[in-house]
Amino acid sequence: MYESVTNFIDDTLNKSIDALKTLCRIPSVAAKNEGLEETAKVVQNMLKDIGLETEIHPTSGAPVVTGWLDVGAKRTLLFYDHYDVQPAEPFDLWDSPPFEPAIRDGRLFGRGVADNKGDTTSRIWTLKAFKETGTDLPVNIKFVVEGEEEIGSVNLPEYTEKNTDFITADGGIWEFGGAGIHGKQEAWLGLKGIFFVELEVEWLSRDVHSSAACVLPAAASRLVWAVNSLKDEASNILIEGFYDGIKPLSESELEVIGNIDMNEDELKKVFGIEEYLNGLTGDALKKAYYGDPTCNICGLTSGYQGKGSMTVLPAKASCKIDFRLVEGMHPDDIHKKLRKHLDDKGFTDVKIPYLEGYPAAKTPVDHPFVKVVEAANQRIFGDLVVHPTSPGSGPLYLFNKYVPMVSIGCGDYESKAHSPNESIVVENYRKAMHRIVAVMDEMSTW
Ligand SMILES: [Zn+2]
């Protein structure tokens, strides 16, 4: 089936890697607002080149690029990708420069190759194979490629809320995925939500000599007391009403996770731990991983943190905290509850500017589109491990009312997304293109 298409993919593999390299050479770092408009245009040209109609939608931030081709098929497949990347720092930990992609031992290294320019290019190149071989597409195609995924998709709602017709489709492929620790392909059906906040204390007009700590208030201590009130030693989150309304994992989700091998012991070695939080193991560990919200300190800052000693009483202290949210929770509600919690504990002076947030979303594990992806994966890679949700976050909530999404991709367990030496296996990239062909084929007969 579609042999000329898959032959084209194999015969032009080097060319498609070159196209990916070109895309990765542009440092489109959303956090620094670098190269975004330029990359949006490159992506638009890639979509035009495969015969799609395209449009660039300006937002208050980075533009959203869309592409579509209606071939009059019964089913429509939508791809959600992003052209922005994480910052590449620290540069000195890279074995080759992050924005000069290079192949070593069958892996392509460079910032964005896994997250998610490799997936974006593989999907576009698959469609190129249909066009160049004159093969009819079995499904209609839509692309939504945004440029702010790595900073919380802050302006994406400006596009999605006005274009619900466009994002309506029979099935969608989300941005990421790949092979797990033992090489089996994994699919993710959901994403947790996020509420990211910074706690700030400012008690003095300037830093002073620490000898004054006997008579002046200490912002850093104040911050630590406030943060300490959020969670107990068993990691129970102590904000009143925090767990209210949480939708527990469904029977079918529990059944699916029952079959997942968490590789508990192996991962203990990877993380250098003796045991998981609260001694979690087996089903309890899985339930927590897929179904629990979090309250995590990402960074704590105050005073002098350089070499040696410097006796100072800092004027300010701050702490970045991310809450991963599960279905039934909303960041605005958690923001209010956090404010009330701090006020009730007497921390009315602790400021909490809202940084980013959105709710969780999931595609039901028994949705027929999930079966389509499983069958397609079976043809190319073999068995698929289906996760009801990723423990990570993404703006799936903007789409999942209109299209069932499954996240699969060309990454793998060693891809190091967000870290130095990000990479993909070239062979996985090639087979991921074959899998997209199979998804389209399976979808057309569904
Ligand atoms: Zn990312």
Same domain for 237 and 164, yes or no, is: no
Pair (168, 212) in one structural domain: no
Q: How far is the CA of 261 from the centre of ligand 1 (A)?
A: 24
Ligand 1 centroid, distance to 154 Cα (angstroms): 14
229 and 368 co-located in one domain: no
**310 and 394 housed in the same domain:** no
Rounded to the nearest whole angstrom, what is the distance from the C-alpha of residue 400 to the centroid of ligand 1? 19
The parent domain of residue 30 ranges over: 3-189+363-444
Distance 4 CA to ligand 1 centre (A): 34
CA distances from 215 to 209, 210, 211, 318, 339 (A): 11, 10, 9, 22, 29
The reply to whether 300 falls in a domain is yes
Query: How far apart are the C-alpha atoms of 270 and 281, rounded to whole Å?
Result: 16
What's the pLDDT score for residue 354? Answer: 76
Residue 274 within any structural domain of the chain: no
Centre of ligand 1 to C-alpha 86, Å, is 6
Looking at the structure, do residues 175 and 223 belong to the same domain, yes or no?
no
275 within some domain: no
Gap from CA of 146 to ligand 1 centroid (Å): 12
- How far, in Å, from the CA of 204 to the mean position of ligand 1? 38
Regarding whether 210 and 119 lie in a shared domain, the answer is: no
- For residues 367 and 353, membership in a common domain is answered with no
Distance 85 CA to ligand 1 centre (A): 7
| Residue 57: predicted pLDDT | 98
**Centre of ligand 1 from the C-alpha of residue 282, in Å:** 28
Distance from Cα 3 to the centre of ligand 1, integer Å: 33
Contact by Cβ (8 Å): 85, 117: yes
pLDDT band, very low/low/confident/very high, at 356 (cuts 50, 70, 90): confident
Residues 205, 349, single domain; the answer is yes
CA of 124 to the centre of ligand 1 (A): 19
> Separation of 410 CA from ligand 1 center, angstroms?
14
294 alpha carbon to ligand 1 midpoint, in Å? Answer: 19
pLDDT category at 425 given cuts 50, 70, 90 is very high
Look at residue 355 in the predicted model and tell me its pLDDT.
77
Please say if the pLDDT value at position 378 is more than 90. yes
Average pLDDT over residues 38-66: 98
Does residue 268 surpass a pLDDT of 80? Answer: yes
Distance 313 CA to ligand 1 centre (A): 37
* CATH at residue 96: 3.40.630.10
pLDDT at 296: 96
Cα–ligand 1 centroid distance for 175 (angstroms): 9
CATH of the domain at 303: 3.30.70.360
Same domain for 438 and 337? no
Query: Is the per-residue pLDDT at 212 higher than 90?
Result: yes
- 3-state SS of the chain is CCHHHHHHHHHCHHHHHHHHHHHHCCCCEHHHCCCHHHHHHHHHHHHHHCCCEEEEECCCCCCEEEEEECCCCCCEEEEEEECCECCCCCHHHCCCCCCCCEEECCEEECCCHHHHHHHHHHHHHHHHHHHHCCCCCCCEEEEEEECCHHHCCCCHHHHHCCCCCCCCCCEEEECCCEECCCCCEEEECEEEEEEEEEEEEECCCCCEEHHHHHCCCCHHHHHHHHHHCCECCCCCECCCCCCCCCCCCCHHHHHHHHCCCCCHHHHHHHHCCCCCHHHCCHHHHHHHHHHCCCCEEEEEEECCCCCCCCCEECCEEEEEEEEEECCCCCHHHHHHHHHHHHHHCCCCCCECCEEEEECCEECCCCCHHHHHHHHHHHHHCCCEEEECCEEEECHHHHCCCCCCEEECCCEECCCCCCCCCCEEEHHHHHHHHHHHHHHHHHHHCC
With 0-12 CB in 10 A as exposed, 13-18 as middle and 19+ as buried, what is 265?
A: exposed
Could you tell me the distance, in angstroms and rounded to a whole number, from the CA of residue 87 to the centre of ligand 1? 10
Name the band, by pLDDT with cuts 50, 70 and 90, for residue 143.
very high
Q: Is the pLDDT of residue 51 over 80?
A: yes
Residue 255 lies in a domain: no
Residues 78 and 212 in one domain: no
pLDDT in tens, 227-260: 999 999 999 999 999 999 999 999 999 999 999 9
Question: For the chain, what is the mean pLDDT?
Answer: 97
> What pTM was estimated for this model as a whole?
0.91
pLDDT (tens digit, 9 = 90+) per residue, 1-13? 799 999 999 999 9
**CA–CA gap between residue 99 and residue 34 (Å, rounded):** 13
Residue finishing a domain among 313, 338, 358: 358
CA distances to 73, 105, 126, 137, 170 from 70, in Å: 7, 40, 16, 9, 13
Sheet containing 107-109: order of strands: 102-104, 107-109, 423-425
Residue 328 lies in a domain: yes
**Looking at residue 387, what is its pLDDT?**
97
Domain boundary among 329, 358, 387: 358
Count of structural domains, the chain: 2
What is the whole-number distance in angstroms between the Cα of residue 322 and the centre of ligand 1? 16
**What distance in angstroms lies between residue 118's CA and the mean position of ligand 1's atoms?**
12
Select from 25, 342, 11, 328 the least CA-distant residue to 201. Answer: 342
Task: For strands 140-146 and 76-82, give the pairing.
Answer: parallel
Give the distance (Å) from ligand 1 centre to CA of residue 262: 22
Binned at pLDDT 50, 70 and 90, residue 353 comes out as: confident
Give percent of the chain with pLDDT exceeding 70: 100
Q: How many CB atoms lie within 10 A of CB 135?
A: 15
Cα of 176 vs centre of ligand 1, distance in Å, is 9
- How far is the centre of ligand 1, averaged over its atoms, from the C-alpha of 344 (Å)? 36
Omega within 30 of 0 (cis) for the link into 90:
yes
Q: What is the Å distance from ligand 1's center to 84 Cα?
A: 9
Distance, CA 151 to ligand 1 centroid (Å)?
9
What Rg value do the Cα atoms of the chain yield, rounded? 23
* Predicted confidence (pLDDT) at residue 176 exceeds the cutoff of 90: yes
Q: Among 342, 358, 374, give the residue marking a domain's end.
A: 358
Q: 332 and 413: one domain?
A: no
Give me ligand 1 centre to Cα 203, in Å.
36
| Residues whose Cβ atom is located within 5 A of ion ligand 1 | 115
pLDDT of 261 reads 93
| Residue 363 predicted with pLDDT over 80 | yes
Dist. CA 110–CA 98, nearest whole Å: 5
CA of 443 to the centre of ligand 1 (A): 28
**Ligand 1 geometric centre to CA of 181 (Å):** 19
185 and 222 share a domain?
no
Q: Provide the token pair at 262.
A: 């968490």
User: Any idea which residue has 């062979």 for tokens?
Assistant: 427
150 CA from centroid of ligand 1 (Å): 5
Residue 313 lies in a domain: yes
